């Protein structure tokens, strides 16, 4: 156990916020993790488990132990006629795992290319992009129950996945450390090109019969062209979730804003719901490209809040509150943060 004291967390969060942690412990296997959980320093302090730090906003120094999950390894555990079951340990980079799947022609995660962070955090908010979420391919999560120190297994249903939600982000938050995830991938690809940007990118390259590599390349090209690279400009991706509103609220919204984009949701058959892109709402309130002190809303993607250099977490948090309030005032719609805020 290599205990580091008073460490800057700037390299460990993609917002690049320069706060410090009292203690920092990295583990590369379950034995090391169990040793940490049995240690005095862990028992006597509060703790926070992190992967790539790409969905965190740290507003002050962390007066406890940061646990950095670095358990590596990818292995095939089972194969059937149509599927391949691949286990990825929690400390693997998500994008490298996607690249491994593309190289081996295992289909299902190609739309999720270039999402930062680690495999272990992917079930937390049921990561999603371009019409695919990990709930579509997730078979099982292995997680250490912190109070009992026992490994437990969660199947897809147990995870209670929703839009950017899971049991691990709600009732089980801070009670479990995810150690690995098993994905059920397809040997024969079922491609999802429902998002206009993917169709446009394939058309631009004149690809008529795409394979999973073509989809992955298209997603990488789109994302690289419009999202700021966190290594250059600190950010945590979309700061807010897209609001989902009921039919009555939608009618009112649509009448007042007939040109606003919207998507009818198909997952709730008993009650119609509509998704309104949060980026559009924020842009309409005049925030897109606006720089306020060391922070602001990105010029190409209003939903992404950025650190222009020396922003403090609290500064970004206050900007988020101001954006939230103006969207509420203009549209009577509440937008909720997707990023995990620690203040």
Nearest distance from C-beta of residue 247 to ligand FAD, angstroms: 27
Nearest Cα neighbor of 138 from 153, 152, 149 is 153
Q: Is 16 in the site for ligand FAD (CB under 6 A)?
A: no
Q: Is 151 in the site for ligand FAD (CB under 6 A)?
A: no
Looking only at residues 274 through 313 of this chain, which bind ligand NAP when binding is defined by CB under 6 A?
A: 275, 277, 279, 301
**Local structure of 204: helix, strand or coil:** helix
Q: Is 47 in the site for ligand FAD (CB under 6 A)?
A: no
Contact partner at residue 279 from ligand FAD, ligand NAP, none, CB < 5 to 8 Å by partner kind: ligand NAP
Q: Is 47 in the site for ligand NAP (CB under 6 A)?
A: no
Helices (H), 52-191: 94-103
Q: Is 142 a catalytic residue?
A: no
Cα 96 to Cα 117: distance, rounded to the nearest angstrom: 10
Cα 208 to Cα 213: distance, rounded to the nearest angstrom: 13
Looking only at residues 171 through 200 of this chain, which bind ligand NAP when binding is defined by CB under 6 A?
A: 194-197
Contact partner at residue 301 from ligand NAP, ligand FAD, none, CB < 5 to 8 Å by partner kind: ligand NAP
Q: Is 113 a catalytic residue?
A: no
Residue nearest to ligand NAP (CB): 237
Size of the site for ligand NAP (CB under 6 A): 19
Cα 136 to Cα 167: distance, rounded to the nearest angstrom: 16
Nearer Cβ to ligand NAP (180/242): 242
Q: How far apart are the first and last CA of the chain?
A: 28
**Local structure of 85: helix, strand or coil:** strand
**Tokens linked to 101:** 């799947």
Q: Is 20 a catalytic residue?
A: no
What DSSP line would sit under 242-299, residue for residue?
PPEEEHHHHHHHHHH-TT---EEE-S-SSS-EEE--HHHHHHHTT-BT-EETTEEE-S
* Residues linked to residue 275 through DSSP beta bridges, in sequence order: 244, 263
Nearest distance from C-beta of residue 215 to ligand NAP, angstroms: 13
Judged by the rule CB under 6 A, the positions of this chain that interact with ligand FAD are 14, 48-56, 69, 90, 115-118, 120-122, 124-125, 127-129, 168, 176-178, 227, 230, 235-237, 340
Where in the sequence numbering do the catalytic residues fall? 164, 238, 338
Applying CB under 6 A, which residues contact ligand NAP? 128-131, 194-197, 226-227, 237-238, 242, 263, 275, 277, 279, 301, 338
């Amino acid at each position: 156990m290599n205990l580091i004291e008073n460490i800057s967390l700037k390299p460990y969060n993609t917002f690049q916020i320069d706060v410090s942690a009292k203690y920092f412990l990295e583990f590369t296997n379950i034995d090391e993790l169990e040793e940490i959980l049995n240690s005095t320093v862990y028992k006597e302090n509060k703790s926070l488990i992190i992967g790539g730090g790409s969905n965190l906003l740290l507003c002050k120094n962390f007066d406890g132990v940061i646990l950095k999950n670095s358990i590596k390894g990818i292995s095939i555990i089972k194969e059937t006629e149509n599927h391949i079951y691949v286990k990825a340990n929690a400390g693997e980079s998500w994008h490298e795992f996607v690249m491994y799947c593309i190289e081996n022609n295992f289909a299902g995660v190609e739309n999720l290319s270039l999402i930062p962070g680690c495999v272990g955090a992917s079930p937390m908010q049921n990561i999603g992009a371009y019409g695919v979420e990990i709930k579509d391919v997730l078979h099982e999560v292995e997680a250490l129950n912190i109070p009992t120190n026992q490994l437990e297994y969660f199947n897809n249903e147990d995870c209670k996945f929703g839009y950017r939600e899971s049991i691990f982000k709600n009732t089980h938050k801070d009670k479990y450390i995810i150690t690995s995830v098993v994905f059920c991938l397809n040997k024969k690809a079922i491609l999802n090109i429902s998002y206009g940007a993917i169709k446009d990118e394939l058309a631009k390259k004149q690809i008529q019969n795409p394979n999973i590599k073509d989809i992955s390349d298209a997603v990488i090209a789109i994302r690289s062209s419009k999202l700021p690279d966190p290594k250059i400009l600190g950010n945590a991706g979309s700061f807010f979730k897209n609001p989902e509103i009921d039919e009555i609220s939608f009618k009112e919204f649509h009448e007042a804003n007939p040109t606003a984009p919207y998507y009818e949701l198909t997952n709730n058959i008993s009650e119609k719901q509509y998704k309104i892109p949060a980026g559009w709402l924020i842009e309409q309130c005049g925030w897109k490209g606006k720089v306020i002190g060391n922070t602001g809303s990105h010029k190409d993607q209003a939903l992404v809040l950025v650190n222009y250099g020396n922003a403090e977490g609290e500064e970004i948090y206050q900007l988020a509150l101001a954006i939230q309030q103006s969207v509420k005032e203009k549209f009577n719609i509440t937008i909720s943060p997707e990023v995990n805020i620690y203040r």
